[in-house]
Amino acid sequence: MRLTRPVFVYAKKMLDFYSQFNPSPLSIKQFIDFGLNACEKKSYLFLRKELPVRLANIMQEIALLPQQLLRAPSVAMVSQWYHKSFEEIINYEKIDPTSDILKRFVGDLKGIRDRHSDVVQTMALGILEMKENHRGDMEPGMETSIQYFLDRLYMSRISIRMLINQHTILFGTHQPDPGKHIGCIDPMCNPTAVVRDAYETARFLCEQYYFGAPALEIEEHNELEPGQPVRIIYVPSHLYHMLFELFKNSMRAVMERFQHDEENIPSIKVTIVRAKEDICVKMSDRGGGIPRSQMHLLFKYMYSTAPQPQKHVDHQSNTVPLAGYGYGLPISRLYARYFHGDLCLMSCEGYGTDAVIYLKTLSDEANELLPIYNSSSRKFYEPNVPIRDWSSSSNKSRPQIMI
């Protein structure tokens, strides 16, 4: 869709305006407190300002990408999606929240969420397109800049989907069960149940490929309330996403290591611990581990030890690969870091790997970690600039949101 010049000029002006503001990070406690006394008009007034800010911040960074990447058809498509969503939201800037407007707003939010549902896969294809068109012609430092950008793009996407899901669930036509979830947050989330759900889905895929799967062992420790089951305040879908990716990796490693010893396939062990500061979910496998020299590659986009998927996916196929683009681990880590947790891997080559998901125990400390665009952001997309910030795996210091 090509915009007429007056519309384009207005959209560009609004983009520059909203990108001057920093996003307003919320904590899980703030999401919960608002959801308990949900007011649709207040949510509308907040989102019509906050969503354009979050969209504008990341759109300005998309514009800083190298031209050879921006010209990739799939990347251009993603950019168009963001522009269209931004234009739809700013249409509400000065509209009062009548009942009809609130209803239309919910519909538009659902449309934006659906439009961006394939952003991860489409960006992955865009990078493949760029690599095919510019073989051996990558500018120095481009890979580092792309890694930096994708962390920020996908973190921004997680945060925008969180805001949209909260509003559409709370005020959409299909209300959740009263007293259970508050939007997409479960104040009494049972991590063991989420572990089992993620395991069963991954086991189904594993059995399709390897005609078998490791068993699951779960153990809980509640340091704060000994003898009581562990319960957390969290977004179950986020935890499920992380666990599913980890189970896929562990199952594949175990099955390939023990392919000639099917009678002795070791279990995958999950330990859930609730302590004063963190809730830890540790997954341990005996899949042979990872050489220390390769550990730094595991959170890099486009790195995968599995065969790369076809460029054009057959949506009619009933089989889903256990691995593919290599985006599973880096995006899972973003989900963990989104509310100031983390995901870490520790490997013993020749034996197995431990993966630990850290989540904040206190909901008022679980604040959104959001990328922020400002005038200095351009330097992170220039060649030969070493990048050290919260989204860089080489940075060992405390995560930062301001760059």
- pLDDT, tens digit, for every residue of 168-181? 999 986 655 555 89
Short-list 138, 132, 88, 133, CA closest to 113: 88
| DSSP letter, residue 185 | B
The yes-or-no verdict on residue 313 having pLDDT over 70 is no
Short-list 198, 231, 264, 236, CA closest to 335: 236
Claim to verify: residue 166 and residue 201 sit in the same structural domain: no
- Cβ atoms of 75 and 124 closer than 8 Å: no
Claim to verify: residue 190 and residue 174 sit in the same structural domain: no
Question: Apex CA 146: angle with CA 142 and CA 152, to 5°?
Answer: 150
Claim to verify: residue 233 and residue 300 sit in the same structural domain: yes
- Per residue in 14-42, pLDDT (tens digit) is 999 999 999 999 999 999 999 999 999 99
Claim to verify: residue 194 and residue 61 sit in the same structural domain: no
In whole angstroms, give the CA distance from residue 354 to residue 286.
9
The two beta strands, 186-189 and 232-234, are antiparallel
The yes-or-no verdict on residue 141 having pLDDT over 70 is yes
Predicted pLDDT of residue 85 = 97
Find the CATH number of the domain harbouring 32: 1.20.140.20
Q: Encoding tokens for residue 223?
A: 């340091």
- The residues annotated as belonging to the active site are 241, 245, 248-249
- Cβ atoms of 69 and 134 closer than 8 Å: no
Residue 160's SS3 state is helix
Predicted pLDDT of residue 131 = 83
- Per residue in 232-255, pLDDT (tens digit) is 999 999 999 999 999 999 999 999
Query: Residue 325: pLDDT band by 50, 70, 90 thresholds?
Result: low
The region that residue 96 occupies, defined by phi over 0 for left and psi between -120 and 50 for alpha, beta otherwise, is beta
The residue-averaged pLDDT of 275-290 equals: 97
Claim to verify: residue 89 and residue 27 sit in the same structural domain: yes
Q: Among residues 162, 178, 194, which one ends one of the domains?
A: 178
Q: Which residues form the domain of 214?
A: 186-360
Claim to verify: residue 222 and residue 270 sit in the same structural domain: yes
Q: Is residue 372 part of a domain?
A: no
Q: Phi/psi at 228 (nearest 5 deg)? A: -95, 145
Q: Is residue 394 part of a domain?
A: no
For the chain, give the number of residues: 403
Claim to verify: residue 139 and residue 246 sit in the same structural domain: no
Query: Residue 193's CB: how many other CB atoms inside 10 A?
Result: 12
Claim to verify: residue 159 and residue 278 sit in the same structural domain: no
Claim to verify: residue 268 and residue 349 sit in the same structural domain: yes
The pTM of the full predicted model, rounded to 2 decimals, is: 0.88
Claim to verify: residue 198 and residue 153 sit in the same structural domain: no
Claim to verify: residue 253 and residue 296 sit in the same structural domain: yes
Q: Is residue 240 part of a domain?
A: yes
Q: Among residues 155, 178, 201, which one ends one of the domains?
A: 178
Total domains present in the chain = 2
The yes-or-no verdict on residue 187 having pLDDT over 90 is yes
Q: Among residues 178, 211, 242, which one ends one of the domains?
A: 178
